[in-house]
Amino acid sequence: MRFSLGALAAIFPLAVALPQITRSGKYLYDPSGARFYIKGVAYQPQGNLAVSTTANEVNGGFPEPSDFVDPLSSATNCTRDIPYLKQLGVNAVRVYSVNASLNHDSCMSALDAAGIYVLLDVSLPLNGSIDRASPSWTTSLLNEYTRTVNAFNKYPNILAYNIGNEVINTVNNSNAAPFVKAAARDTKAYLRSIGSKALVGYAAVDTDLDFRNALADYLTCGNDSVSVDLYGLNNYEWCGQATYSTSGWNTITQGFSNLTVAAYMSEFGCITAGPRLWTEIPALLSSPVSDVFSGGIAFSYFPTSDDYGMVTFSADGSTVTVNSDFTALGRQYLNATGPNSPAQSSQSNAALACPASSPILAAGTNLPPTPNQEVCDCINKNALPCTAIPATANNPIKVGALINEACGLLANSNSTITCTAIAGDGLTGVYGPLAMCAPDIKLNYVMSAYYDANPVATSCDFGGNATLSTSPLGAEAAQSAAASCLAGKPPTFTPTASEPPTTPSGSSSSPATTSSHKPSSGRLGSLLPTSSVATLLLGAVGFFAGAAVAIA
């Protein structure tokens, strides 16, 4: 069956822009003061899984796709799918990856007309998200996040932006938590600066009780400027005719009962036996679960390699066939309504006290600084004589390999400078002055440091991947220039976007596609060595490490 945009307009002739959903205390409310419950479904085609073992898998994560399909860029597919989303009775979809370069007007407008909000993850697979193996919060990641926000800021049905999905999953990588919290802090500051009231969220992996509760406390603690607004849990433990206690939902609900922000099941659905009955939905939308959670996202509308999907498509992609999971989910959603209490007037945005680092969650309370593009560009231009050629700087894999090589050379040289300047430690709260910079600038720094220790032309070659300035600065002049770039810069501030928020343009009927831009950030951090400890650039560690902002 095919549906045209005109047909959709006929189905929803009186639709207007969806009202803003806000958070008061630990609950969501619509403008009338009624509680809002997320009754959603994951809406993201599965990309191709990376062939090689990645740091993500090594550190306990699932294989990440090596590409993705933007589901909101195809007017044809949205036109096909929205009537089925309506049949499910959903009021929200969760979308995991989009290409901010593409046009999303048709899909977003059609979803809005159908009464469907969007929870949008702003990270991207591989190089566009915080790396749990070696976390960083950089200018390139911040620019990628604000770029996506800018592309979607004009749509009234954006409910929330998720700044991470299952980044932290064990105590061994809980040092990534301060970087996730810094991403929430800076994304919230940017949203306020452009007048957006969209919420900022995080989706956590379900783990053992103590770690699960400690992580939730950490990411939701502090005042509104640093805490997430919407804390998600990806949970698949309720199967068949399970109950509140046999599913483990009793311990989850009790463990999250002290949270002062809204919580939801960011993914749910049995994964051990089918067909799925979705009997957790009546529990999710009634007390005692609804006293803590504000609904959830069923996984997944699109087919997956693990058979979690609810529909299949014809060979030409034009028609949809639903399965029993789809039918059962629609029946449960359409028959479930959450209680309209407590009243919004009874809520206040209180702050949860932040936990100290512990054996359960090894995360410090000093957050990384706001990535400062001006400082990174200034140092790169004025203080680094050895720089990567453009073809290399735009190749994330090559940049990572060269950082490894240059750091190894530095460690074996007589230089007092090492790669500590480009690293950050979420446990100790010490962040090098260049830890916030994009990987290509970090590469320029370590290559320049090696050249400074061995000032011959061949020291700035690196297999033809770097060039030396015609008038290279000496060490003293480089230090002076870098100090000037760093001087007087606050550790946190309201970010500005590299691109302004978009304005409505003509509808695009282009098919969903993979990302056409390759951010050189995030995952490259896993390629940095961890053993180098020595003098930071110009002794500037005092500027950022001492000024790292503790959670308020």
339, 372: one domain: no
Q: What is the pLDDT along the chain (552 residues), one digit of tens a residue?
A: 444 444 444 444 334 689 999 999 999 999 999 999 999 999 999 876 554 444 444 444 445 556 789 999 999 999 999 999 999 999 999 999 999 999 999 999 999 999 999 999 999 886 688 988 889 999 999 999 999 999 999 999 999 999 999 999 999 999 999 999 999 999 999 999 999 999 999 999 999 999 999 999 999 999 999 999 999 999 999 999 999 999 999 999 999 999 999 999 999 999 887 789 999 999 999 999 999 999 999 999 999 888 889 999 999 999 999 999 999 999 999 999 999 999 999 998 888 999 999 999 999 999 999 999 999 999 999 999 999 999 999 988 899 899 999 999 999 987 888 899 999 999 999 999 999 999 999 999 999 999 999 999 899 999 999 999 887 877 788 888 888 998 999 999 999 876 666 543 333 333 333 222 222 222 222 223 322 222 334 333 333 333 467 786
Residue 118 lies in a domain: yes
Q: Which residues are catalytic?
A: 166, 267
Residue 223 lies in a domain: yes
DSSP class of residue 46? Answer: -
CATH of the domain at 248: 3.20.20.80
pLDDT number for residue 500: 64
Q: Cα–Cα distance between 302 and 317 in angstroms, integer?
A: 12
Residue 73 and residue 20 in contact, taking contact as beta carbons nearer than 8 Å: no
148, 273: one domain: yes
Q: Which residues of 363-386 are buried (b: 16+ CB within 10 A; e: fewer)?
A: bbbbbbbbbbbebbebbbebbbbb
C-alpha distances out from residue 223 to 24, 229, 355, 544, Å: 13, 10, 14, 22
121, 219: one domain: yes
pLDDT number for residue 94: 98
Distance, CA of 343 to chain centre:
31
Sequence-separated (6 or more) residues with CB below 8 Å from residue 402: 388, 392, 443, 447, 462, 465
Residue 359 lies in a domain: no
**How many domains is the chain partitioned into structurally?**
2
254, 375: one domain: no
401, 326: one domain: no
Residue 479 lies in a domain: yes
418, 317: one domain: no
140, 199: one domain: yes
Nearest 5°: CA angle at 377, between 375 and 382? Answer: 95
Question: Domain range for residue 411?
Answer: 366-550
The kind and range of the H/E element at 266 are strand 262-268
pLDDT tens digit string along 258-315?
A: 999 999 999 999 988 778 999 999 999 999 999 999 999 999 999 988 888 999 999 9
pLDDT tens digit string along 308-320?
A: 899 999 999 999 9
Residue 343 and residue 33 in contact, taking contact as beta carbons nearer than 8 Å: yes
336, 371: one domain: no
Sign of CA dihedral 347, 186, 220, 167: positive
Residue 351 lies in a domain: no
404, 516: one domain: yes
Report the first-to-last Cα separation within the chain, whole angstroms: 54
330, 451: one domain: no
328, 411: one domain: no
Q: State the greatest distance between any 2 C-alpha atoms of the chain, in Å, as a whole number.
A: 75
Residue 12 lies in a domain: no
Residue 23 lies in a domain: no
Residue 131 lies in a domain: yes
Nearest 5°: CA angle at 190, between 90 and 38? Answer: 15
279, 397: one domain: no
Determine if residue 32 is left, alpha or beta; phi over 0 gives left, psi from -120 to 50 gives alpha, anything else beta: alpha
Residue 157 and residue 344 in contact, taking contact as beta carbons nearer than 8 Å: no
CATH of the domain at 427: 1.20.58.1040
